[in-house]
Amino acid sequence: MKGQITLIGAGPGEPELLSVKAVRKLQQADAVFYDRLINQDLLNYCSEKCELIDVGKKPKHHKVPQSEIENLIIAKAKEGKRVVRLKSGDPYVFGRGGEEGKRIIENDLIFEVIPGITSAIGGLAYAGIPITHRDFASSFHVITGHLKSENNQLDWEVLAKTEGTLVFLMGMSELETITTELMAHNKSKETPVAIVRWATRKEQKTVTGTLETICEVAEKAQMTSPSLIVMGDVVTQRDYLNFYETRPLFGKRVVIPHTEKKNMYHHLIDAGASVLELSKLTKKENETRLSLEGINKLVFLDSDSVTYFISKLMENGQDIRQLEHVDFVTIGHHTELAVKKLGILPKERFDLLSDYKELNTQIETTLYIGEQSYIRQLIKENKAIKIWSPFSFENKPFEESQLEEADYFFLPSSKAAYYFLNNLSDTQKELLKMKKIIVMGAITAKVFEAESISVIQSEQPTFNSVLTKLIEEEM
């Protein structure tokens, strides 16, 4: 079976600027080869089984040569794999996508391209600079600033006379040459110029000047690659159109748990924050025998436990009608809802397992259902209880560099807080104490208090209330 290769443009950096089709292809991919400049948050779209290969190239230092990259992706595809080549910006805008595409076709493989938003357009938009404007520029020109050699220079005379907006990509190392040559060929020294670094990301930084002053401005502001350079009267519109850098959480990194619905993720992105989702918990089913002999009370820890319990009953040729004399107790609101969907009204519901009144009684006739390590953590004082643990969780280690770059952590539930903390080393927990942690309620706060970590609690258990608290912290 032939594999297939998809060249995907990752855009300038903001994860939500990725196209719908690109997200689908990443989710389906068996292997992803990605560049240095892509936002690695995009890799969260990949499945747990997907092989992630870093082939990033730095200026003047190619981590993996271009020819070898092409060989690697072709070899994977010939194994029958669905391969994605994830490239920053757009594959065909100075991205060597054309070269890769030709090699793929020559090897008789299935091939497609999914365009990305080039930084020449999207990056400028996020800096408040429209690449065209009815009053200032009716055309634009995107130029590589990566000058190969003295014998292969740009036609400066033509560029100096070119009307409209000029955008130089990969040109920071040649900024002085670019500005000097354009002025030497009679382009006005007063031409407005802007430089945008790490466009659409939390590190985005924009400086403005003129063709004559921009080198001095850039040096003073310590502007480095990756940056784009834009020249033309459209730069003057930044004063009016700078929507991104003025958002209340611009430049802030917020760590949150992975969710499918992404409600809080969207709230934060819209407020200008950069969001890092924790790795998705990998659920591993445990082949533990379910025995209800002598049991007259079931205590469910979470909604997943309810689902697994019912499926195990069905496997055993039983159903809930045979539990008419068994009391159901639920821990947490969502667990209660899961039980009610079965047509059963729980006898009792508690917000936290430690609140359960009969925790240390009726041990022989009560079965606790949920992830075992979590239950043990919550009820350390009683190790004699009966537990049926239908699954366990595994997650990727949280890197110290990710913790260091974070400004805020938002943990919406005691369960999310427990698994997050359980994945940290003692050193990381000490570092976490210096960060700001937002929680929705007192129950989640207790999990952090057990580790002597202080938190900030929102006024209400809602996403809007959490967002308001975050913005208040920035004022």
Active-site residue among 25, 76, 81, 170?
170
Active-site residue among 41, 57, 280, 436?
57
Separation between Cα atoms, residue 444 and residue 72, nearest integer Å: 46
Active-site residue among 35, 90, 302, 304?
35
Separation between Cα atoms, residue 46 and residue 215, nearest integer Å: 41
Give first-to-last CA distance, the chain, whole Å. Answer: 58
Instruction: Decide if 170 is catalytic.
Output: yes
Name, in order, each residue with C-beta under 8 angstroms of 173's C-beta and a sequence gap of 6 or more: 59, 145, 225
User: What is the β-pairing status of strands 348-350 and 456-457?
Assistant: unpaired
Instruction: Decide if 78 is catalytic.
Output: no
Rg (CA), the chain: 28
Three-state SS for 145? coil
Instruction: Decide if 183 is catalytic.
Output: no
Name, in order, each residue with C-beta under 8 angstroms of 465's C-beta and a sequence gap of 6 or more: 440, 458, 459
Separation between Cα atoms, residue 215 and residue 230, nearest integer Å: 13
Separation between Cα atoms, residue 343 and residue 319, nearest integer Å: 12
Per-residue HEC secondary structure of 113-136 comes to EECCCCCCCHHHHHCCCCCCECCC
Handedness of CA 354, 356, 357, 361 (dihedral sign): negative
Q: 416: which 2 tokens? A: 């999310």
Task: Name the residues annotated as catalytic.
Answer: 35, 57, 170
